[in-house]
A = this chain, B = another copy of it.
Amino acid sequence: MQQLDIFSYLGKLQDYYARERIIPSTTQLSVLWNGKARSWTHRIMQRLKEEGFLENAPGGRLRPGPRFFERTVGHTIRAGLPQQASDVQPELLRIDDYLIENPSQTILFPVKGDSMVDLGILEGDMVIIERSHSASPGQIVLAIVDDEFTLKVLSKDQKGYYLEARNDRRSKDYPPIRPEQKLEIYGFYVGLFRKTRIAGHRLGSSRNP
């Protein structure tokens, strides 16, 4: 009942995309697919679209669809695998894409101190902050207190807004911060990333072009 072997075409397209990071036009795809006619190429792309490997992008062009990054299950993976290697391939999916939704409003901040360890935010982590002058209680915000940026949970009670740390073991060291006048919010927390490298990795003269 298999009507058209889409996958042999798909494979080449995926390879091309991994190289060029762009979905080619029908004309280019025709060449890539061993010189098939443009109309035939178009029909196959249509099929790939129906199957969810491609999807429409603005301007009548196509972009990778939800299934485009699916992993071909098979080699290397053991039977009874728990959750297969997260079918996210770092080569194809950018972590950046995943984490950042509004690039122009996003800034990274290195974390200092341990006031938020209970939320898994450690010193040295990079937190991703989206600029905003307001936030709602419960959100983690980057606020400006005494000319310093500080990452805290925004809270509110009958006396107004205040900032809370999240470190049970040293709660006395981090009392709630109540603004003298008004609370200056710089942005809100949307995520973080952390790098834990063994020192000495890639030593020597790294004079790469």
Binding site for B on A (CB under 8 A): 10-12, 14-15, 17-18, 20-22, 24-25, 27-28, 56-59, 61, 63-64, 69, 71-83, 85-86, 88, 90-91, 93-104, 106-110, 112, 117, 120-122, 125-126, 129, 139-140, 144, 147-149, 186, 189-198, 201-202, 209
Contact = CB atoms under 8 A, between A and B. Distances in A.
Q: Indicate how many identical chains form the complex.
A: 2
The 6 closest A-B pairs by CB, nearest first: A11-B104, A193-B193, A14-B103, A191-B195, A120-B122, A120-B120
B20 A57 contact: yes
A191 B193 contact: yes
User: Which of A73, A81, A148 has the most chain B CB within a 10 Å cutoff?
Assistant: A148
B194 A76 contact: no
Nearest to A147: B80
A144 B78 contact: yes
A166 to B, nearest CB: 12
A104 B101 CA distance: 26
Contacts of A196: 140, 189-191
Contacts of A186: 82
A193 B28 CA distance: 34
A148 B82 CA distance: 5
A108 B73 contact: yes
Given A71-B106, A107-B90, A196-B140, A101 B18 contact: yes
Contacts of A129: 74
A78 B192 contact: no
